[in-house]
Amino acid sequence: QKEVEQDPGPLSVPEGAIVSLNCTYSNSAFQYFMWYRQYSRKGPELLMYTYSSGNKEDGRFTAQVDKSSKYISLFIRDSQPSDSATYLCAMSGISGSARQLTFGSGTQLTVLP
Amino acid sequence: SQTIHQWPATLVQPVGSPLSLECTVEGTSNPNLYWYRQAAGRGLQLLFYSVGIGQISSEVPQNLSASRPQDRQFILSSKKLLLSDSGFYLCAWSDRGSPSDTQYFGPGTRLTVL
A98 and B110 within 8 Å at the Cβ level: the answer is: no
Q: Give pLDDT, residue B98.
A: 79
Q: Give pLDDT, residue A33.
A: 94
Mean pLDDT of all residues belonging to chain A = 91
Distances (CA, A) of B111 to A81, A100, B8, B21, B107: 28, 26, 9, 10, 13
Amino acid identity at A88? L
Q: Give pLDDT, residue A100.
A: 66
10-residue stretch averages of pLDDT, chain B, 114 residues long: 94 97 94 91 87 89 90 96 95 87 94 96
Residues ≥6 apart with Cβ < 8 Å to B79: B18, B63
Torsion of CA A90, B98, A60, B38, to 10 degrees: -40
Distance from the A5 Cα atom to the nearest Cα atom in chain B, whole angstroms: 11
Q: Give pLDDT, residue B58.
A: 87
B100 and A46 within 8 Å at the Cβ level: the answer is: no
Given a contact cutoff of 8 angstroms between Cβ atoms, the answer to whether B90 and B36 are in contact is yes
Q: Give pLDDT, residue B71.
A: 95
B98 and A94 within 8 Å at the Cβ level: the answer is: no
Cis peptide before B61 (omega within 30 of 0): no
Report how many Cβ contacts below 8 Å link chain A to chain B. Answer: 67
B102 and A42 within 8 Å at the Cβ level: the answer is: no
B99: nearest CB among A95, A98, A106: A95
Given a contact cutoff of 8 angstroms between Cβ atoms, the answer to whether A110 and A42 are in contact is no
Q: Give pLDDT, residue A97.
A: 57
Which chain B residues have a beta carbon less than 8 Å from that of A94?
99
Q: Give, for all 113 residues of chain A, the pLDDT tens digit.
A: 778 999 888 999 999 999 999 999 998 888 899 999 999 999 999 999 898 888 999 999 999 999 999 999 999 999 999 999 999 999 987 655 555 688 999 999 999 99
